[in-house]
Amino acid sequence: MITVKTITLIGAGNVATHLGKALLNNGISINEVYSKSIANASFLASVLNASACNNIQDLNTESDLYLICIKDDCIESVVKQFAFTDKIVVHTSGSVPMDVLSKFDHYGIFYPLQTFSKKAKTNITEVPFCIEGINNETEQTLFNLGEMLSDNVHLINSEQRKKIHLAAIFACNFSNYMYSISETLLNQNNIDFEILKPLIIETAKKIQHNSAKSMQTGPAKRNDEAVIKNHLKMLADDKDYQDIYKLITDNIIKGN
Amino acid sequence: MITVKTITLIGAGNVATHLGKALLNNGISINEVYSKSIANASFLASVLNASACNNIQDLNTESDLYLICIKDDCIESVVKQFAFTDKIVVHTSGSVPMDVLSKFDHYGIFYPLQTFSKKAKTNITEVPFCIEGINNETEQTLFNLGEMLSDNVHLINSEQRKKIHLAAIFACNFSNYMYSISETLLNQNNIDFEILKPLIIETAKKIQHNSAKSMQTGPAKRNDEAVIKNHLKMLADDKDYQDIYKLITDNIIKGN
């Protein structure tokens, strides 16, 4: 196990920005920031007191660890361009297999299970980190690094990580899409989305201490046919939303 | 306009309990609690220092206002049983038309747009109340009553209330169902649902100050075909969840 002191960030987006700042705040130096856009690399580098680079083959080789924070479908091609293989290289993706990094001597996963955005501050100490390493030494190195940032660090193998990522699509992306539909329905009727926000927060809070299944309420849960029929009628002009309403309602009724 | 000083609660469930306590805390006396189950009526009545009743025709006629907090599909039949018509009678439902109360001289809606549960405490001052009255006087009476409890009181007509209720099904019931699916997927793989909870709270928080549509992320938003295909494969043994994943993903891709 080594103690990581200097890191190179591959990527300059939301994940790189949030992790870079959190690492710096915890005494790790950010040596270099890579982005294919030198402007983006330079911007984040200036915030993190690092140098900037837009060519993987020119990466400084002095860092203890190389943290890949780029889009899932770019990871493989970026990995191919690395000129060295004797460093610890890890990625931060929920869905990309670990063995995409197998050309390196030491590799692993450092996956923060959170949605980061430029506008919103995130309390990094509560973010669950899913850690995996190709061997015990690497795994311990990454686990310790995770524990410097967060109180919520887990060893998660690639199979489990795939399941968690899929579950997160429902819990995060799809629940946000439900908010988005409700927002559209209100906008269509000149009603301010503001009125639903306390309900949305309360719904998310309720499952923090109860199982989500046990917290299910509403006409579908009660199988209240009159209300459901009326809602489907109200959605008659919007076939897509009507299909979504119907499919989800049917599944709640079935107790799925 | 009258100032409401005494209220009879029709119902003894979650809504009656939360509203009853909030009214009592704000200096309104609860005169009587009705439930078809005398045990339930007595239990809530004892908490609220009220009398209990399980026969609508025996209701005490001394209250200023009768607040109906029972299941949507029971409202009509309960209304029929009232022996008097010269009181203010209101219901708390999002989906039942106001004119179900038209036998009364004064009637209206007092709809709290929130999900109440026995276990969870709710900050009533933040709950949006949707108010409607059959005439200005009743409307003003109900509006003032709402403002005693909450800082978030709105005049909302029946048409708008129906739209809000439908939007709330997506924002609350269906988002909870998305949590429930994610919980099931993790349980199937012996992974603790706990790991997704910070993400769920953050997703709900993000839309408090941004439009939900602008906060959409994930493989569907990016139209990341490889990840989507892989997820559909992972759900091959659960056709229902696969159908939901596919339909929601298709709609996000379409930009609906």
ipTM of the complex: 0.93
Which of B72, B189, B209 lies nearest to residue A227, judging by beta carbons?
B72
Minimum CA–CA partner of A218 in chain B: B173
Minimum CA–CA partner of B188 in chain A: A163
Give me the count of residues in chain A. Answer: 256
Across the interface, do A193 and B182 touch by the CB < 8 Å criterion? no
**Predicted local confidence at residue B122, as pLDDT:** 85
Which tens digit of pLDDT belongs to each residue from B67-125? 999 998 899 999 999 999 999 999 999 999 999 999 999 999 999 999 887 777 889 99
Q: Which residue has the tokens 């998310």?
A: A204
Which tens digit of pLDDT belongs to each residue from B148-185? 999 999 999 999 999 999 999 999 999 999 999 999 99
Q: What residues have CB less than 8 Å from B233, skipping those under 6 apart?
A: none
Please provide the DSSP assignment of chain A as one string.
-----EEEEE--SHHHHHHHHHHHHTT-EEEEEE-SSHHHHHHHHHHHT-EEES-GGG--S--SEEEE-S-GGGHHHHHHH-S--SSEEEE--SSS-GGGGTTSSEEEEEEE-S---SSS---GGGS-EEEEESSHHHHHHHHHHHHHH-S-EEE--HHHHHHHHHHHIIIIIIHHHHHHHHHHHHHHTT--GGGGHHHHHHHHHHTTSS-TGGG--SHHHHT-HHHHHHHHHHTTT-HHHHHHHHHHHHHHHHT-
Across the interface, do A176 and B210 touch by the CB < 8 Å criterion? no
Which of A152, A199, A247 lies nearest to residue B115, judging by beta carbons?
A199
Which B residues 78-137 touch A at CB under 8 Å?
95, 113-115, 117, 119-120, 122, 126-128, 130
Across the interface, do A178 and B171 touch by the CB < 8 Å criterion? yes
Minimum CA–CA partner of B170 in chain A: A178
Most B CBs within 10 Å, among A15, A195, A229, to test the B interface: A195
Mean per-residue pLDDT of chain B: 96
Distance from CA of B62 to the nearest CA of A (A): 34
Across the interface, do A204 and B209 touch by the CB < 8 Å criterion? no
Q: What is the pTM of this model?
A: 0.92
Q: Is A235 on the interface with B (CB under 8 A)?
A: yes
Spell out which residues of chain A touch residue B122, defining contact as CB-CB under 8 Å: 202
Which of B180, B206, B251 lies nearest to residue A240, judging by beta carbons?
B251
Minimum CA–CA partner of B232 in chain A: A166
Confidence of residue B8 (pLDDT cuts 50, 70, 90): very high
Most B CBs within 10 Å, among A15, A178, A225, A231, to test the B interface: A178
Which tens digit of pLDDT belongs to each residue from B48-74? 999 999 999 999 999 999 999 999 889
Confidence of residue A64 (pLDDT cuts 50, 70, 90): very high
Minimum CA–CA partner of A166 in chain B: B231
Compute the distance between CA of residue B178 and CA of residue A166 in angstroms, rounded to an integer: 12
**pLDDT(A169) > 90:** yes
**Predicted local confidence at residue A92, as pLDDT:** 98
Distance from CA of B183 to the nearest CA of A (A): 7
Handedness of CA A221, B96, B26, B41 (dihedral sign): negative
